[in-house]
Amino acid sequence: MKRVLMFAVLLTLMTGATTAQVLKPVKWAITVKKVSDGVYDVQCKATIDATWHLYDTKLPEGGPLPTTFHLDADETDGIELVGEFKATTKPHIEKSEAFNMELAYFANAATLVQRVKLTKEKAKLVGYVEFMACNNGQCIPPAEEEFEFELTK
């Protein structure tokens, strides 16, 4: 009888482990667009699953993680940031019950841009966008979307 019970528990655990899914409510398409000689816009387009939202780049202290742009200093060469990482999509602003504060967020889709300038004829841009997404019942842990581009003036 103990064997049957242990087998049933083991089978239940294995079934649960194989059907568990990693939540990825935000899909990214990161591209570069040449603006002028040696100047590029890194365009970060997010597609956000229904009922989920992605947080803006500027949020109050004590709240969720804002969406941020990071360069990998060890691998990036010949690149200088110009201005701030900002959204070209207008965020929704609403009081969050979970965080008890006004928060700016995006639903369905968002485009965020970071302008960069080349300091050499050829440059390597390596980095990631760090973000957090929530719905009414849960949040994913902070996640990263990596990118890498070779750019020329």
Residue, of 88 and 3, whose pLDDT is higher: 88
Region 105-121: mean pLDDT is: 97
Q: Using one digit for the tens of pLDDT, what is the confidence trace for 49-85?
A: 999 999 999 999 999 999 999 999 999 999 999 999 9
Domains and CATH numbers, the chain: 23-152 (2.60.40.1250)
Tokens of 78: 């010949």
DSSP string, 23-47: ---EEEEEEEEEEETTEEEEEEEEE
Confidence (pTM): 0.83
At 14, give phi and psi (nearest 5°): -65, -40
CB 112, CB 128: distance < 8 Å: no
Q: Using one digit for the tens of pLDDT, what is the confidence trace for 9-19?
A: 333 434 344 44
